[in-house]
Amino acid sequence: MNPIEKIQLGRTELRVTRLGFGSVPLGGLYEDPSEDDAGATVRRVLDLGINYFDTAPIYGFGKAETRLGRVLPKCDRESIVVATKVGYTLVPDEGERDPNVFHRFANVPPVRPVFDYSYDGIMKTFEGSLQRLNLSRVDILNIHDPDRNWVEAMGVVYPAIAKLRSEGVVRAIGVGMNQAEMLARFAREGDFDCLLVAGRYTLIDHTGLRELLPICERKHISVIIGGPYNSGILATGARPGATYNYLEAPPAIMERVAAIEAVCARHNVPLKAAALQFPLAHPAAAAIIPGARSVAEVDENFQLLSTSIPDDFWGELRHLNLLPPEAPTPSLSQAATGSGS
């Protein structure tokens, strides 16, 4: 599979590389890369020809955006696609934390994120992102984690970001979530260009295949695949302490991954390569955005997506009921025709 093949995003004129860059690690998820390492990581992404950068204010409470903002403005702006999100506003940290907000970042600035789906909050968040990114515009603006806020998301946030799109301030709008069911509802009821689903269409979680991906394919809404390793287990394998959805993996998941690993061993296929390539076989999937905190991890993701995987490997997974029969799988013949245009 060609990591820098470019795919049209929805009905827009944007074209994103199959391999994108997820900036969560730049925010210091669990451990914090140095400023030098963060900068070198972003520059390596650009050197490889990857053009799609995904970020959000909550990633390191502004730190991921700031680190991207030290490098991306030096590029040809038309050569990159930058996506950020609205829904969390950063406010001064006064020692209070919302237990519903993710806080597993190291060395964060003296601010804290709060849910804010008001019109003024959305515009404030967007302006803050532009300042941290050191850009005059972003290409994609997503509603972030509206799990408990459907009414506000569709009644306030959606009209606000649609207005920004109509004014040309952003070129595409979408929604980013860790669930597929509500994303399917957004696909049905809104006019979105792309939807970002994290962890719900992977080698071991096929939830997105039931409704979300078919709807998006029919409506020409591009799906961006986040969380391809399901927070860890598809990178580490079924070893003690492996994580699934940021918690210790339950026995059923451990057994399933161990069975997939056995097939990987028989075909000499890296588990991580299979995890990155599988979701991109669906025609609705435009790009995948694994995170990376170092040059080595960027290089590894690039190599893994480039790795040839025999058709027999996918056939055996399907034969063992480790993949649903309706799930598309990558094909060597199709991969050979991919271009970097």
Query: Which residue is listed with tokens 């020692």?
Result: 95
Residue 312 falls in the annotated catalytic set = no
Residues 197 and 212 sit within 8 Å (Cβ to Cβ): yes
Residue 163 falls in the annotated catalytic set = no
d(CA 32, CA 296): 15
Q: What distances in angstroms separate CA 111 from CA 27, 71, 81, 92, 238, one per listed residue?
A: 13, 23, 27, 4, 37
Give the start-end residues of each E strand in 27-137: 52-54, 81-86, 88-92, 111-115
Taking the CB of residue 224, how many other CB atoms lie within 10 A of it? 26
Residue 193 falls in the annotated catalytic set = no
d(CA 220, CA 216): 6
Q: Which of 32, 54, 139, 145 is catalytic?
A: 54
Q: Which of 32, 85, 116, 117 is catalytic?
A: 85
Strand partners, 244: 247
If phi > 0 it is left, if psi is from -120 to 50 it is alpha, else beta; for residue 30 that is left
Catalytic residues: 54, 59, 85
